Amino acid sequence: MDVGLIGDAVLQNLATQPRQLSLRARLYLALREAILEGAIRPGTRLPPSRLLATELAIGRNTVLKAYDQLAVEGYLEGRVGDGTYVSEALPVGAGRGAGAPARDERVGELLSRRGAELARLTGSSRVQHGAFMPGIPDVEHFPFRIWRRLLSKYIHPRQSHLLQYAVGGFGPLRVALAEYLRASRMLTCDPRQILIFNGTHQALDLCARMLCDAGDRVWMEEPGYWGVRNVLRAAGLETVPVLLDEKGIAPRAEDWHTPPKLVFVSPSSQYPTGTVLALERRLELLDQAQRHKAWIIEDDYDNELRYHDRPVASMFGLASAGRVIYLGTFSKVMFPGLRIAYLVVPPQLVDSFVVGNTELYREGRLTDQAALAEFIAEGHFSTHIRRMRAIYRERRDTLQEALEGRLGGAISRSGGHAGIHLLYHFNAAVDDVRVAETALARGVVLRPLSVYYERAGLARPGMNLGYASVPVARIRPAVDVLTRVIESRLQCP
């Protein structure tokens, strides 16, 4: 087995080891897992420690120590003058359990076709922290004292009604949100048009079920947020990738010959490219959606965190004909664990969406909703956003300067005027997944741009770097590691 293949198997496993362990311990576990799972079979000659160390971009000593430990435990055996081998005495795929089928077969037997398809969609990373994991806001600066005060006010016997089921979301939260949207997003709606969900995915799932039938087409931005794609596919829809240009989603005239039922867009700051959907495209989309009776889902992602200008007004506010559903989340501007997102739906959909929401998901968590309503109404929400905008801006500038100063012409930035991540394209043909795996083995997280594409053939290599949760002092050291990884990959793409 060549060093590249063994390196691949080890890198994949390294990514899932607990990050609090030393690199040596993680490497030991990654190799052990590869042997037990049968990815490296009994009798395989392992690469010399120096070669594997170079392949993984880590120190040789780390590899030697991991080999030693595995040898002591009987996984490896040395043959005098002939290197290190995986012990012949181990049964192939020992870790799968005696006679147990391979993982994929087992899953196939246990799950429905739909379930197995869903289980294969592994978009979410198991690593959810550290420089530069995208999508992770800073929660250290959250105003804990205020939030605690509000929660204890509502977790109280006098507020026991908040512990019951809810229908249609908590009234005062919908009122506070309607006011916030009017003031900041040029979006006028009746509070009854706002429905509260347990995060973006649940809100989208309801849209798919209420507006589409199995097999209906939904247009997705390409590249786009894989989470949305997975939810819509799991709801039985056919996702159709539509490429972007510098003005945002760019369907060709002939694409409208087979119109979609839904179009999903993130017009304020397209995820992950940061492109702002141009006004003429917005108007064209609204017009075509009206003509073809398609629905537009406007994910107003990252509108709150713009660094240079005010966000463009929402599409919902532009759409007199009511074919737009507006989607917002509190994950990035409050904290992801809150799991509160919302839809604003046109008046004609309100009653059926409320029933759908109640029947499918059963709403609750009124205590959180009440605390959030007051948090917004008392002005803490706006203050928090203003404060975080300044902190994030400094982090973004630091990352941008450090990275562009080091890598110069090798990368080019896309967007970056809003949000909590920076997206870079590689100007040469580089395997971005490999870059991400190697960086992860060195303790730096990033998301390869290619994973945001549905059609792998169209993918441009690049990297998505989240900076929001990384204090300024930690940015430069992480950039040092990352640039070394990228430079070595540029030499051997």
The site for ligand PLP (CB under 6 A) is made up of 135, 199-201, 225, 266, 271, 299, 301, 329, 331, 336, 341
Q: Quick one: 3 or 240, whose CB is closer to ligand PLP?
A: 240
Q: Quick one: 3 or 118, whose CB is closer to ligand PLP?
A: 118
**Minimum separation from the CB atom of position 405 to ligand PLP (A):** 28
**Minimum separation from the CB atom of position 429 to ligand PLP (A):** 27
Please name which of 474, 491, 487, 492 lies closest in space to residue 439, comparing C-alpha atoms: 487
Q: Quick one: 95 or 199, whose CB is closer to ligand PLP?
A: 199
**Minimum separation from the CB atom of position 136 to ligand PLP (A):** 9
**Minimum separation from the CB atom of position 467 to ligand PLP (A):** 14
Q: Quick one: 228 or 407, whose CB is closer to ligand PLP?
A: 228
**Minimum separation from the CB atom of position 325 to ligand PLP (A):** 14
**Minimum separation from the CB atom of position 329 to ligand PLP (A):** 3
Q: Quick one: 162 or 420, whose CB is closer to ligand PLP?
A: 420
Q: Quick one: 76 or 422, whose CB is closer to ligand PLP?
A: 422
Q: Quick one: 134 or 346, whose CB is closer to ligand PLP?
A: 134
**Minimum separation from the CB atom of position 135 to ligand PLP (A):** 4
Query: ω into residue 157 within 30 of 0, thus cis?
Result: no
**Minimum separation from the CB atom of position 122 to ligand PLP (A):** 16
Q: Quick one: 193 or 464, whose CB is closer to ligand PLP?
A: 464
